[in-house]
Amino acid sequence: MSQQDIEWVGLRPRAVFGKGDETLIPRLERLISAKRYITIGKGDALVDVTCLGNFLDAVSCAIEAKADALHRFYNISNGDAQSFKTIVATYSNRNGKQLKHLKIPYLPVLIYARLIESVASLIPGKTWEPAITSYGLRQVTKTLRLDISGAKRYLGWSPRLSFVEGMEELD
């Protein structure tokens, strides 16, 4: 049986968040205290994220995909990239409490990330992940927007929830 004999659709969601999230939300929590939230650098990098509801809608469309949509990969996101500062502020202030914004310069954080990665690489059989990595740092300090036009065109999918609506689903 060849790959062409199998009907498949690949979905590439970006930073899925929602109830039960064990990846994005815990990382946002680390940037928030009782009185402030932190961003690294300017905080103006545009970041695409995906509400769980939007991702599940895309999965449903992929399951029902027509023949011309098969054997392709599709980017999935909310389609409304937000600045990282806005993401953290919206998440931290979602209960109506306005927290103070604290900016940390990029370079010292990058140096720390590389140092902790180096140390972690020397520890055989380590079972922990560094709190910050240079890869993770790039994810929140460099703009990354996905083109979701393929999913719209071939799957007939469009995001129905905005970033803010997705945050409201967390409550």
What is the reported pTM?
0.85
pLDDT tens over the chain, length 171 residues? 565 678 999 999 999 999 989 888 888 888 888 788 888 999 999 999 999 999 999 999 999 999 999 999 999 999 999 999 999 988 888 767 778 888 999 999 999 999 999 998 888 887 878 888 999 899 889 999 999 999 999 999 999 999 999 998 887
Helices (H), 24-171: 24-30, 52-63, 84-92, 106-122, 134-141, 149-155, 163-168
Structural domains present in the chain: 3-163 (3.40.50.720)
Cβ neighbors of 142 (< 8 A, separation 6 or more) are 45
Number of helices followed by number of strands (H, E) in the chain: 7, 8
C-alpha dist (Å) from residue 134 to 8, 119, 130, 138, 139: 34, 13, 10, 6, 9
